[in-house]
Amino acid sequence: MTPILPGSIAASGRLATLGVMGGGQLGRMFVHAAQRLGYITAVLDADPQSPAGCVSHHHIQTAYEDPRGLAQLAALSDAVTTEFENVPAAALAVLAEARPVAPGAEAVAIAQDRVQEKSHFTACAGISGVSCAPYAVIVQQADIDAVPAHLLPGILKTARMGYDGKGQARVRHAAELAAAWADFKKVPCVLEKLMPLRAECSVIVARGWDGQVVCFPVQRNVHVDGILAVTHVYASNMPSTQAVQAQAATQSIANHIGYVGVLCVEFFIVDDGSADGLLVVNEMAPRPHNSGHYTMDACDFSQFDLQVHAMAGLPLPQPRQHSPAIMLNLLGDIWFDAAGTERAPDWQSALALPGVHLHLYGKHEARRGRKMGHLTVTGADLDKVTSVAHQVATLLGLPGLNA
């Protein structure tokens, strides 16, 4: 891979350009990072108002599979990445015939399918010692009939297209399992044993074309109704043995498939009676992750900076966190008052608090459960950060901070 140097002039006479499949908020933050380094950006997303399309130099408005759109993206870009994990892997394979694509179609295909993802984790568990929750693959009625009792109560998850807790059903017994599978139109699923969670965490790594890996600190995450609400990142957020174990497991998950780009792996800390609990791997995202947004304000290099570095073949700096951080997600819910009338959140008061960094994604319509933005609280010490995070959460009505 010949590095695509920022500000360099390509053979066609244009400035070095980085392309991204998908125009959501992750694409928008990628575009900001790329532009800051001097790259031209190109976004492919059919939505004319997509958060990334609105801030990019080029916005190709076609479906992901449209051959003309893909040809245009390849013609405009010197390398291509993805911000949306359900981009058809076939589209990435088409782009890869013309340009370097990171992450590659094979890695994205694994992350798109919970069955493949769990086989990959199981293969890596031999090296890292971190396994996934006990599960069964459900593709036919016989699989439902053969489910062992120890997997119930469990969570039935569609193998593909799940996010933010969608495509999941909690099932207590065999009858509920059969009903939930029928509700999912009998598409391929995995049934996971419901684990007694003590906490959840995630790790983000960036891996280069040359195999170099750098790793962010471990994030402790709190979900509310299946959606990430709060991320805590500071020295005491987790037992240190588990933090080291989670980082090592993430690196082996990236290395094992020769991953190039930014990868996030989510973990559970399960109550197994031991003092620290048992680390269990949940799922991976082949892109920057919501739990890594704090890196923009609390680290010297953000996850989006490293996404740019990795795909362009630039050196990968070891990121350094310079401030304790608490990230709070801003869902559309806070755009509505108790009576259900739409109103703007009180930014004026929120921004008067010290160390509050607001990021809005430029979405026109607030809907309940929709990710509209996030804010990160940073400060000189954890007490200060915690106190401001509680104040801003109370002010805006944000959940999850006391978990």
Q: And the tokens for 9?
A: 């002039």
The least CB distance from residue 273 to ligand ATP, in Å, is: 17
| Residue 194: contacted member of Mg ion, ligand ATP, none (CB under 5 to 8 Å, by partner type) | ligand ATP
| Residue 389: contacted member of Mg ion, ligand ATP, none (CB under 5 to 8 Å, by partner type) | none
Q: With respect to Mg ion, which residue has the nearer C-beta, 164 or 276?
A: 164
Q: With respect to ligand ATP, which residue has the nearer C-beta, 12 or 150?
A: 150
216-203-53 Cα angle (round to 5) = 80
- CA–CA gap between residue 272 and residue 242 (Å, rounded): 14
Helix spans in 129-206 (H): 141-145, 174-183
Q: With respect to Mg ion, which residue has the nearer C-beta, 88 or 162?
A: 162
Q: With respect to ligand ATP, which residue has the nearer C-beta, 166 or 172?
A: 166
Q: And the tokens for 37?
A: 């380094």
Q: Is the CA virtual torsion 74, 76, 77, 78 positive or negative?
A: positive
**Residues 285-324 as x/- pattern, contact with Mg ion by CB under 5 A:** ----------------------------------------
Q: And the tokens for 282?
A: 């949940």
| Residue 155: contacted member of Mg ion, ligand ATP, none (CB under 5 to 8 Å, by partner type) | ligand ATP
The least CB distance from residue 321 to ligand ATP, in Å, is: 22
> Is beta strand 219-224 parallel, antiparallel or unpaired with respect to 227-233?
antiparallel
The least CB distance from residue 302 to ligand ATP, in Å, is: 20
- CA–CA gap between residue 250 and residue 139 (Å, rounded): 28
The least CB distance from residue 285 to ligand ATP, in Å, is: 7
The least CB distance from residue 76 to ligand ATP, in Å, is: 30
The least CB distance from residue 336 to ligand ATP, in Å, is: 22
| Residue 7: contacted member of ligand ATP, Mg ion, none (CB under 5 to 8 Å, by partner type) | none
The least CB distance from residue 400 to ligand ATP, in Å, is: 11
Q: Which helix (H) or strand (E) holds 265?
A: strand 261-270
Buried b (16+ CB within 10 A) or exposed e, 61-81: ebebebeebbebbbebbbbbb
CB atoms within 10 A of CB 195: 19
156-161-162 Cα angle (round to 5) = 45
Which of 296, 306, 305, 329 is CA-nearest to residue 221?
Answer: 329
Q: With respect to Mg ion, which residue has the nearer C-beta, 41 or 290?
A: 290
Question: Rule CB under 6 A: which residues touch ligand ATP?
Answer: 133, 155, 157, 162-166, 192, 194-195, 197, 200, 223, 226, 266, 282-283
| Residue 126: contacted member of ligand ATP, Mg ion, none (CB under 5 to 8 Å, by partner type) | none
| Residue 3: contacted member of Mg ion, ligand ATP, none (CB under 5 to 8 Å, by partner type) | none
Q: Is 284 helix (H, G, I), strand (E, B) or coil?
A: strand
Give yes or no for a contact between 153 and 194, defined as CB atoms under 8 angstroms apart: yes
Q: With respect to Mg ion, which residue has the nearer C-beta, 209 or 268?
A: 268
How many residues touch Mg ion (CB under 5 A)? Answer: 1
Q: Which stretch binds Mg ion (CB under 5 A): 95-103, 107-115, 265-273, 295-303?
A: 265-273
Q: With respect to ligand ATP, which residue has the nearer C-beta, 60 or 107?
A: 107
303-306-311 Cα angle (round to 5) = 130
The least CB distance from residue 164 to ligand ATP, in Å, is: 4
In one-letter notation, the amino acid at residue 169 is A
